[in-house]
Structure 1
Amino acid sequence: MPASSVTPSPVAARAAAGPPTAAELLDFARRTAADQALVDSLPLDPEGRTWVRLDGPGGSEAWLIGWPPGTGTGWHDHAESFGAFATARGSLTEHALAVRLPAGGWKTLELAEDLDRSRRLGAGDGRAFGRDHLHEVLNPSPDTHAVSVHAYYPPLPLIRRFSRTGAVLRLEHVERPEDWQ
């Protein structure tokens, strides 16, 4: 058979197309969040978040995460990775800062006014974000677990954790993959 008549498999076509886009990660997160059997398979802990690593598209890193009532991530970023997440069950609130942080060499930063953004993501809702995205994600419910799907590309090299008091943001800790896998 001549090579010109061979159609590449979808997996091969995706690999040849390069890394996934933020829109493709969001599509993956939404489709995976709609998989009720997968969502129901996640063990839920009444006090702490639970997670299972998933195979994301195009070499991305993906997670199914359970959020007990009242839990959250705290302020963090994803280093040079971009990503997306979608809520599968319950509701999550994302607080984000519309700011690009300096590359390094700082421990404390005073934020300008009007940088805060907030959104609620109910079941089926999702959002994509670019590199250098700084946010915190919370399950504000006093009595209901939430479940979500997250995907990142490239796979997370690190997560920087921050504390925030008013307009002051402080780098507190840097986590590496071995800390959460």
Structure 2
Amino acid sequence: MSPSAPVSTTSGSRASATSPTSAELLDFVRRTAADPELIASLPLDPEGRTWVRLQGPGGSEAWLIGWPPGTGTGWHDHAESVGAFLTAAGTLKENSLAARLPTDGWKTLELSEGVDRERELTAGQGRAFGRNHVHEVLNESTTEHAVSVHAYYPPLPRIRRYSRTGEVLRLESVERPEDWQ
């Protein structure tokens, strides 16, 4: 996230009596991204990502995020949360690992060949993901902003950040919600 202060807002969602699934989160981000007024309301910064917190379904955490050209998240996961995200404007690239990694107790892993996945997500395209999904999201455009909608359940208990050199993935830090305030 950028140094910009998050702004609370509400997006028309229905809360469920049970925990939302990743498929339900994907449906939510799809419906939310289809709201042109909401997407246009996001302030865009030419240098850093901006975001607005949304009301997600069933107690989930949701965000509308603006991506200036050339920005990205770096490698990370969302720990025990399932999630979904969808590009509302522009194009985002997701690099991910198709491998189950140990959740705790390691600092460096050597990745096997063939675990890399790459997706280009243009406006209207998104994906759901399960717990401990390691990925990075990038706006590789040199001229255009991208905007996306994200939802996670349970609300993010932590984010683990990684560095990657070739086939070596290294755990660099663990962030908790109090770090984002």
TM-score with structure 1 setting the length: 0.91
Q: Match for residue 8 of structure 2?
A: none
The one-letter code sitting in structure 1 at the alignment partner of 2:135 is H
- Mapped to 2, the partners of 1:11 and 1:82 lie a distance apart of 18
The one-letter code sitting in structure 2 at the alignment partner of 1:67 is W
Q: Cα RMSD between the aligned structures?
A: 1.3
1:11 positional shift = 5.2
% of aligned pairs identical? 77
In the TM superposition, 1:26-105 aligns within 5 A as 26-105=26-105
Higher helix content, 1 or 2 = 1
Count of equivalent residues? 169
The structure whose Rg is larger is 1
In the TM superposition, 1:107-126 aligns within 5 A as 107-126=107-126
Q: Do the aligned residues in 1 keep the contact of 2:84 with 2:126 (CA within 8 Å)?
A: yes
State yes or no: 1:165 paired with 2:159: no
The one-letter code sitting in structure 2 at the alignment partner of 1:94 is E
SS at match of 1:178: helix
1:105 positional shift = 1.4
- Mark the runs of 5 or more structure 1 residues left unpaired by the alignment: 1-9
- Mark the runs of 5 or more structure 2 residues left unpaired by the alignment: 1-12
SS at match of 1:40: helix
Give structure 1 regions of 4+ aligned residues with deviation exceeding 6 angstroms. none
Q: Match for residue 9 of structure 2?
A: none
1:177 positional shift = 1.0
Q: 1:166 to 1:11 in 2, by over 3 A?
A: closer
